[in-house]
Amino acid sequence: MAEKLLTYDSVEISFGGKDVVRDVNFSLHAGEILGLVGESGSGKSTIIKAAMGLLGANGLVTKGDIYFKDQNLTNMSERELNKIRGQEIGMIFQDAGASLCPIRTIGDQIFESMKAHKKISMAEAKDCALDLFDKIHFKEPERVWKSYPFELSGGMNQRCGIAIAMLMKPAILLADEPTSALDVAVQKQVVNEMMEMRDIYGTAIIIVTHDIGVVSAMSDNVLVLQHGNMMEYGDAKEVLEHPQNPYTQKLLSAVPRLRRV
C-alpha cells in the first residue's frame, strides 16, 4: 500500500471563536489525487490552508490533529513550518499568476523560489525548470524562462505558477481552485499537466474545486463538504456515479462533467 502522507484526525477549524469546519477525517497517500468539492463557503480552502499554517491571525485548528507523515503540523512553530512549506508540501492558489512579480522574469522568480530551499546556481535552476517545462509540454520553454509575466497570457502565468510549485518535487501539492479563472482549453491543459506531474514524480494532490467536471477528470477519491461538514467521502467513481448523500446528489445533478482523458 502507498505511504500515508497526510492525515486529518477529527479536525475542527474556527475563526474568531466560531467553528467553520467540524470533525474532518481523511488520509492522503503517495500518488493519490483527492478532490475536495462543495459550494462556496463549504470550508474547502480552509481545510488545506490549515495544513500550511495559513489560516491568518483569526484562524485556528481548535480540535484534532493534522499529520504530515509522523509530524504533527498543528503543533509546529512558524520556523518549523517554513521547512516543510514549498519543499515537502507545495501550494497552488486560485490565481497563481497574480502572485508573480510583474517586473521580474519568470526565470528570476524560479531561481529565487528554489534558492530559498536549497543551495543552487542560476544555471542549475534553469536546467531544472526547462526540463520540467519540456515534460509538461510548454511551447518555447526558453522564451517562457526569459519572459516577464505581462508578456505571457493569464493561462500561461497560471501554468508557470504550477510549475514553480512543482520544481522542488514536493511530496504533496495542495491546489486551491487552480482552474477556476481559466477558459476551458487552458483548464484542460492545467488538469493534464497536474496529472502528468503525479505520474512523473508520484506527487499526491489535493485539489479544491467547486467544479465536479475537474474532479471527475482527475480524482481517485472525493470528499464532499457542506457548511464545514463532511457529507460523503470515498472512491471517486463510486461517489460520482452512485452518490448516497442527498446533498451530493443535488450537487452532481447541477454540474456538467469533463471526460477523463
Domain 4-254: top CATH class: alpha beta
> Cell digits for 228?
464545514
pTM here is: 0.89
pLDDT by residue for the chain (261 residues), tens only, comes to: 688 999 999 999 999 989 999 999 999 999 999 999 998 889 999 999 999 999 988 999 999 999 999 999 999 998 899 889 888 999 888 776 677 888 999 999 999 988 988 899 999 999 999 998 988 888 899 999 999 999 998 888 888 988 888 888 899 999 998 877 677 777 888 888 888 889 888 999 999 988 888 898 899 999 999 999 999 999 999 999 999 999 999 988 876 554 554
Q: What is the pLDDT of residue 26?
A: 97
**Pick from 24, 4, 17: nearest CA to 65:** 24
Place of cell 522568480: 109
Residue 46: CB atoms within 10 Å: 21
Q: What is the pLDDT of residue 244?
A: 94
In terms of Cβ atoms closer than 10 Å to its own Cβ (0-12, 13-18, 19+), residue 90 is buried
CA distances from 8 to 42, 65, 139, 151 (A): 17, 6, 39, 41
Angle between helix 154-166 and helix 122-135 axes, rounded to 10 deg? 110
Domain layout of the chain by residue ranges: 4-254
